[in-house]
Structure 1
Amino acid sequence: MTTVNQAEKLILAQLKDYGTESLPFEQTPGRVLAEPIKADRDLPPFNRVTMDGIAVSYLAITNGITTFKIKATQAAGDEPAAINQPNECIEIMTGAVLPASVDTVIRYEDVDINGGLATLKVVDIRQGQNLHLQGADKKQGAILASVGQMVTPAIISLAASVGKADLSVKKMPRVVIISSGDELVPVNQIPSLYQIRASNSYTIQAVLQQHALRPDIIHIPDDPEVTRQQIQHCLQNYDVLLLSGGISMGKFDYIPQALEDSAVEKVFHKVAQRPGKPFWFGRHGNGAVVFAFPGNPVATFMCVHKYFLNWLRAVLGLPEQAPMYAVLDKDFQFLPELQYFLQVKLQSNPQGQLVALPIEGNGSGDFANLADTDAFLELPLEKSDFKKGEVFKVLKF
């Protein structure tokens, strides 16, 4: 049987470059840059005032002048004013450009203003204080964000600041989520006693939407010919097929045969893990890949996070995420020789450690238990007794 590590390596061997596209910058959060963002001018682009107050020539301070006549008032965005005499000042606001005739800003708290005059209340004044000098952050042409970085709110701010109304980003693969089975009914219908509402597809969709993917969803009834036609259609129109259910040994599990009939090569089937042991992965000659997850909700949820999202990061050229570890909060035993993904609630203790509290449910069909947890603790298959205080890798969701 394929181990978890082997499955990860086999999946990551199936990478493809899907190209690039240009999008309005406000539509790119979560996408990956395919071009650098450069400063179109110095940052800041001028000597910028950082405090409301008065702007003076420091030479006047050294000559003992302590009272200044307010020559003008200048707000952010105004053209710079000017003084003509050493005993003059400009009342100036945060964000304004510093006029060439002055070089020091004294905040309002340190002056008394009365009758058009500003009198100093302090003697500790430094030349150039309360200024953000032109080019202090970045010079014109400097790279502010590099190719391969994920677009975050901070990068959106950079793009807006340098006038990049459109950004070149890496294309996302076209993804379809496929459910199957006559036991599933739409969410807005009342199921019979022998039916359930379809939920796995929407769970996967919600996970993918958090990663800037907008997958389509289709449902296939328990019909071998319809199954084959739908699988072949999806292979021609999508880059990734994410299937939930229908891959076991049941009499009405038609998907494995449909995949075989559609020339999808099986890379592996069954992984030494729980939940998600029946996980199936394959590839088509046109480059499409197929992730066929078990139908149990917890198994599907775990496999999407463990396998598909890691594959997606690699496809987009994002760096491998540094592993996270947590301390097991109580003894736990798991007997089968399988790598166990234990549902846990993460907390921190006074020593600054990340602690994993097991929240045991009723197996991989207990999707309600997911709402009370926020991670899986990866327990290795080489052992069956896990002690409080031992440290294991965390798959956070």
Structure 2
Amino acid sequence: MNSLADIASCLSGYDPNALPVAQAQEFIARLVPRVDAVESLAIRSALGRVLARDIVSPINVPASDNSAMDGYALRGAELARDGTTTFQVAGTGLAGQQFDGGVAPGHCVRIMTGAVMPAGLDTVVPQEFVQVTGDAITVPAGVVQTGDNRRLAGEDLARGEPALRAGRVLRPADLGLMASLGQAEVPVWRRLRVAFFSTGDELRSIGEPLPEGCVYDSNRYTLWAMLQRLNVDVLDMGVVRDDPAALATAFRHAAESADAVITSGGVSVGEADHTKRVMAQLGDVLFWRIAMRPGRPLAIGRIASGDRSAILFGLPGNPVAVMVTFYAFVRDALLAMSGATPQPLPMLRAASAQAIRKKPGRTEYQRGIVSRAGDGSWQVAITGSQGSGILRSMSEANGLVVLHHAQGSVAAGELVDVLPFDGLI
């Protein structure tokens, strides 16, 4: 296991007081371990879980050549290039009740979608293209070519071919795919265990009185909701007051119970509380100033208690900064720890509805409302004040405008990257 200093030494120009977002992400990717325990689940219980091993197809899909249309199966070589071709109908093939027997030259078989192709026949002409006269059909020239509307055995998946790769977060279509292969159970990595708590004497939980100068703790609820999206086991440890003994107890319990620990508050320069000191005492922890807005302060490292340890993510206390730093740094790290193959968050390009002032040298995440312009293109408008404590702006927004490290001010109408919230927050 590499120390944090070893990891930092691999980063060119590493400066903990002015760390670019991309460099912090690289550091974290090198730091986090993967879960190492596999469990077998029924496929109905596997949605959102991370596949631990490749799923290899035990069969050809489809199992046999079959029809992709309702129509008539015939030999493509018998179709006339000019004029029409008449075939006698030898019988019918249904899905699950295939036509048996040989098909003489000049004959065809009435066939339904999904039915096995009769031996020797290689083409299906859709029923709407033919004229039926008694037990015969007439096919105009040029409506189909040899091989049309026929699905080949193994066309979707061949026996022995990987159907799903390890590291995939299983989606509804994946469960259906496994069912189509007769796979009743699936090997998945165990769920990641994540503990989280808020720090600060000024915080109150919902239902408690709110004295002057105190605020209700919103970060626990946004963190809980964001973690639910990742399908991890969550341990909500509530609010921990600014007391060394209480903080040490909370960190030790978290390290003993979870793979990762997330805190909000107590990591800024000049903080009056004891969080940073206790973090440092219990493990190998770095305190960064990220070149970003919002969310400059961040703590990262490992904390331990006895023979157990956990990865620590110390996030800022401001509500918007908590959410932004979670999606910038924590989300992908937790997915990687869960065994998932990294997948960058999808971005869309949208025209800025207004000019945005920005200096190069930091990444900015501004709350935006994305909509369709009159010509159908995407446009985005900033929600207003971008203070890191204005949680309402995150609720109003449907995406984050991402202004990259080297990017400068944006003119009205200029294209910007937007991280959509749909399916994320």
Structure 2 spans left out of the alignment, 5+ residues:
1-16
Work out whether 1:76 is the aligned partner of 2:95. Answer: yes
Asked if the contact 1:175/1:242 (under 8 Å) is kept, the reply is yes
Amino acid at match of 2:68: T
Over 3 Å counting, the alpha-carbon distance change for 1:86 and 1:384 in structure 2 is closer
- Corresponding position of 2:312: 290
Q: TM-score, normalised by structure 2?
A: 0.77
Structure 1 spans left out of the alignment, 5+ residues:
none
User: Residue 370 of structure 1: CA displacement?
Assistant: 0.8
SS of the residue aligned with 1:279? Answer: strand
Work out whether 1:311 is the aligned partner of 2:333. Answer: yes
1:37 counterpart (37, 55, 69): 55
Over 3 Å counting, the alpha-carbon distance change for 1:391 and 1:66 in structure 2 is closer
- Corresponding position of 2:364: 340
SS of the residue aligned with 1:303? Answer: helix
Asked if the contact 1:76/1:96 (under 8 Å) is kept, the reply is yes
SS of the residue aligned with 1:342? Answer: strand
- Corresponding position of 1:24: 42
- Corresponding position of 1:359: 383
- Corresponding position of 1:2: 18
| Greater displacement, 35-44 / 177-186 | 177-186
Over 3 Å counting, the alpha-carbon distance change for 1:339 and 1:130 in structure 2 is closer
**Residues 257-303 of structure 1 deviation map (CA, whole Å, 9 limit, x = unaligned):** 44244x12221144343322333223125541111212211010101
Amino acid at match of 2:43: F
Over 3 Å counting, the alpha-carbon distance change for 1:317 and 1:109 in structure 2 is closer
Over 3 Å counting, the alpha-carbon distance change for 1:57 and 1:335 in structure 2 is closer
User: Residue 138 of structure 1: CA displacement?
Assistant: 3.5
Q: Give, in whole Å, the separation in 2 of the partners of 1:91 and 1:336.
A: 68
Over 3 Å counting, the alpha-carbon distance change for 1:291 and 1:61 in structure 2 is closer
Asked if the contact 1:76/1:94 (under 8 Å) is kept, the reply is yes
Q: Give, in whole Å, the separation in 1 of the partners of 2:151 and 2:354.
A: 53
- Corresponding position of 2:395: 371
- Corresponding position of 2:9: none
Over 3 Å counting, the alpha-carbon distance change for 1:135 and 1:222 in structure 2 is closer
| Greater displacement, 296-305 / 362-371 | 362-371
Amino acid at match of 1:36: D
Q: Give, in whole Å, the separation in 1 of the partners of 2:260 and 2:215.
A: 26
Asked if the contact 1:337/1:381 (under 8 Å) is kept, the reply is yes
Asked if the contact 1:220/1:227 (under 8 Å) is kept, the reply is no
Over 3 Å counting, the alpha-carbon distance change for 1:89 and 1:36 in structure 2 is same
Q: Number of residues paired by the alignment?
A: 391
- Corresponding position of 1:97: 116
Q: Give, in whole Å, the separation in 1 of the partners of 2:229 and 2:67.
A: 39
**Residues 188-231 of structure 1 deviation map (CA, whole Å, 9 limit, x = unaligned):** x3754645443322212222222333422121342633332222
- Corresponding position of 2:11: none
Amino acid at match of 2:254: C
| Greater displacement, 157-166 / 85-94 | 85-94
User: Residue 236 of structure 1: CA displacement?
Assistant: 1.0
User: Residue 245 of structure 1: CA displacement?
Assistant: 2.4
Asked if the contact 1:293/1:303 (under 8 Å) is kept, the reply is yes
Amino acid at match of 1:321: P
SS of the residue aligned with 2:52? Answer: coil
Q: Give, in whole Å, the separation in 2 of the partners of 1:326 and 1:58.
A: 49
Over 3 Å counting, the alpha-carbon distance change for 1:271 and 1:104 in structure 2 is closer
SS of the residue aligned with 2:125? Answer: strand
Over 3 Å counting, the alpha-carbon distance change for 1:138 and 1:272 in structure 2 is closer
1:207 counterpart (217, 220, 226): 226
- Corresponding position of 1:11: 28
Amino acid at match of 1:43: V
Over 3 Å counting, the alpha-carbon distance change for 1:65 and 1:203 in structure 2 is same
- Corresponding position of 1:139: 158
Work out whether 1:120 is the aligned partner of 2:138. Answer: yes
Asked if the contact 1:205/1:214 (under 8 Å) is kept, the reply is no
Over 3 Å counting, the alpha-carbon distance change for 1:84 and 1:199 in structure 2 is same
| Greater displacement, 229-238 / 218-227 | 218-227
Matches within 5 A, 1:217-232: 217-222=236-241, 224=243, 225-232=245-252
Over 3 Å counting, the alpha-carbon distance change for 1:385 and 1:102 in structure 2 is closer
- Corresponding position of 1:51: 69
Q: Give, in whole Å, the separation in 1 of the partners of 2:216 and 2:359.
A: 33
User: Residue 162 of structure 1: CA displacement?
Assistant: 1.8
Q: TM-score, normalised by structure 1?
A: 0.81
Amino acid at match of 1:136: E
